[in-house]
Amino acid sequence: MGAMAKEKMLVSMALALLITVHVGTSTSTAAHQATQHEEEEEEEADRIVALPGQPKVSFQQFSGYVTVNEVAGRALFYWLTESADQPLSKPLVLWLNGGPGCSSVAYGASEEIGPFRINGTSSGLYLNKFAWNTDANLLFLETPAGVGFSYTNKSSDLMDTGDRRTAEDSLQFLIRWMERFPRYKNRELFITGESYAGHYVPQLARAILKYNANSKHPINLKGFMVGNAVTDNYYDNLGTVTYWWSHAMISDKTYHQLINTCDFRRQKNSNECESLYVYAMDQEFGNIDQYNIYAPPCNHSDGSFGPSRQTMCLPHQPHKKFRQLSGYDPCTEKYAEVYYNRPDVQKAFHANTTRISYKWTACSEVLNRNWNDTDVSVLPLYRELMAAGLRIWVFSGDVDSVVPVTASRYALAQLNLKTKVPWYPWYVKKQVGGWTEIYEGLTFATVRGAGHEVPLYKPRVALQLFRSFLQGKPLPKS
């Protein structure tokens, strides 16, 4: 072959290669653009234009469903309220409520840290001036399936759920939700929650770390914070009974009987122990709100009190409106149940699209009664997650008698952590907000005068707590 022919052949090969590369690149670009367009359409379909009775706001909101298990048809409902100020520079904060079986939309979003509160007639919303979306993008998740608007097409799921599936489904939700909202893929993520979310939060954190170990696109988890958190069966139970006695809610006799009769390590109480609990609550507590022992309870219209805790272990029961005192209304979740069952609200929310056969409720009694898988203690998870370098804060409203401060202190003491900054009072507007101690790997803080839902009772103080946590800075000493 002559030199000219060789040259022509090389030029032809080069051109062919260029065409192939160009076609391949074009195909790849087209596929990428198609995916991007699909993501944008999905996101836009989830946009909330405005909720009924909502005041005008400058931040974006999205809500809808993410399928987490195609076979069973399990789909979880979420509500994202972005930060009004520079949302792209703010972290993503996932909030979970406990129960088990209670809704983050009902509690976290609507009466604790979300941007709106529901008015007393359930006709509309008003702004929460201590909302946490000033400092972060807030993602409220109703988990597991069966909570709130989240659903499953496999009815047996509701009779057989627990910690493990909740963590698995919540992880799948995050992975798939970030596909829908790619701008959050590398964003700093913090997980927060309260009560039985004392299980959900560290369990999900561990699931994320396991996922990250084998993923090309790890989730940027930075830490978690839990309040009045269920932590360890034995120490939670011991701490609760001790709290009742130390706050004069029960007699010396009943206290000693409970301590000597009940095996606090057991999942199910003996009949003798159960009868002591019933006696304490029915005969000695009196008509109080166990979730804030110094606040007025929410009574039925006939003057009777709602179901006591031994009949149903849920963080709240909807009761008839009683009265308001100092801005705190013990019947707030009742407003949520009316508001979120309104067809116009569900439409604006992109919720209940499959026409679920039951009404939206703040808590699911079915899930709560059929919770079949629970960790006896999450303290081993704390050790694992501290070793992974996560920022971990535990806080406790100190007038909650359901998961009281004594329970949290007894449980955390088992970790035998080295003290970095000894116990001191922390302040908000020159008033003691609570007390705190900083350990190697964990910060503990109390919130003075707050009940089970800390941001409901002490919104300004809770916002300071949240800001300090996000910044990784000690709580203010003055």
- Token digits of residue 192: 């927060």
> One of 316, 400, 408, 468 is an active-site residue; which one?
400
Counting residues of the chain whose pLDDT is more than 70, the rounded percentage is: 85
- What was the pLDDT predicted at 324? 28
Q: Which of 381, 389, 379, 476 is CA-nearest to residue 441?
A: 389
Mean pLDDT of the 191-199 span: 97
- What was the pLDDT predicted at 4? 58
| 40-249+288-478 classified as CATH 3.30.70.2860 | no
Kindly list the distances between the CA atom of residue 248 and the CA atoms of 164, 300, 403, 434, 448, in Å, as whole numbers in the listed order. 38, 25, 17, 21, 18
For 458, list phi and psi in degrees, rounded to 5.
-130, 70
Going by pLDDT thresholds of 50, 70 and 90, the confidence category of residue 307 is: very low
Give the amino acid at 265. R
Distance, in Å, from the CA atom of 80 to the CA atom of 238, rounded to the nearest integer, reads: 38
- What was the pLDDT predicted at 333? 75
> Whole-prediction pTM value?
0.88
Going by pLDDT thresholds of 50, 70 and 90, the confidence category of residue 62 is: very high
Going by pLDDT thresholds of 50, 70 and 90, the confidence category of residue 268 is: confident
- What was the pLDDT predicted at 23? 53
Other CB atoms within 10 Å distance of the CB of residue 25:
10
**pLDDT tens digits, one per residue of 95-116:** 999 999 999 999 999 999 999 9
Tokens 């608007």 belong to which residue?
149
Contact 452, 402 (CB under 8 A): yes
**pLDDT tens digits, one per residue of 196-229:** 999 999 999 999 999 999 999 999 999 999 999 9
pLDDT over 90 (residue 286): yes
pLDDT over 90 (residue 318): no
- Token digits of residue 393: 């804060």
400 labelled catalytic: yes
Q: What is the 3-state secondary structure (H, E, C) of 213-251?
A: HCCCCCCCEEEEEEECCCCEHHHHHHHHHHHHHHCCCCC
> One of 83, 104, 170, 195 is an active-site residue; which one?
195
Helix (H, G, I), strand (E, B) or coil at 398: coil
289 labelled catalytic: no
pLDDT over 50 (residue 323): no
> One of 199, 316, 350, 452 is an active-site residue; which one?
452
- What was the pLDDT predicted at 305? 38
Going by pLDDT thresholds of 50, 70 and 90, the confidence category of residue 309 is: very low
- Token digits of residue 357: 């056969």
- What was the pLDDT predicted at 303? 39
**pLDDT tens digits, one per residue of 127-165:** 999 999 999 999 999 999 999 999 999 999 999 899 999
Mean pLDDT for all residues in the chain: 88
Higher-confidence position of 322 and 41: 41
User: Of 216-220, 315-319, 458-462, 473-477, which gets the smallest average pLDDT?
Assistant: 315-319
